[in-house]
Amino acid sequence: MAEKGSGRFRSEVRKGLFRIPLSITKEMESWLQSLSNEMKATGGYKLPKSYILRSLINAMMKLKVDVSGVKTEGELEKRFSDAIKHY
C-alpha cells in the first residue's frame, strides 16, 4: 500500500488548510484550467486549481501592497498590479 501523502502530485499536502467558498467567473476558471493543461503539455503535472490559487496567493503575499482607502475590488486589483510593477 502506498504511503499517505504519496500520489500523483509532487507537492506535499499541507496540514492546517482552510476551505473557503470562492466565486470566480467562467473566464477565470477557464484560465486556471488552461494553465493546468499547459503544465501537463510541457512536461509537468496537471496541478489542481487549488494548488495554483495557493501559489498565486503566496506570491502576492510577498508584495508590499498599499491597501489604504481601498473600496472596490477593481481598485484592489490596480494596487496589486502597481505592487507587481514595483517588485
Long-range contact list for 20-26, CB < 8 A, 24+ apart? 22/53
Contact 36, 51 (CB under 8 A): no
Q: What average pLDDT is seen over the chain? A: 90
Q: What is the pLDDT of residue 56?
A: 97
Confidence class for position 29, pLDDT limits 50, 70, 90? very high
How many domains in the chain?
1
Taking residue 82's Cβ as centre, other Cβ atoms within 10 Å add up to: 13
Q: Is residue 1 predicted with pLDDT exceeding 80?
A: no
The Cβ-side half-sphere exposure at 68, using a 13 Å CA radius, reads: 2
Confirm whether 53 is domain-assigned.
Answer: yes
Q: What is the pLDDT of residue 2?
A: 47
Predicted model pTM: 0.79
Tens-digit pLDDT profile for residues 66-79: 999 999 999 999 99
Confirm whether 70 is domain-assigned.
Answer: yes
Q: Is residue 38 predicted with pLDDT exceeding 90?
A: yes
Mean pLDDT to the nearest integer, 4-30: 80
Confirm whether 36 is domain-assigned.
Answer: yes
* CA 1 to the chain's CA centroid: 32
Q: Tell me which residue range forms the domain holding 39.
A: 26-85
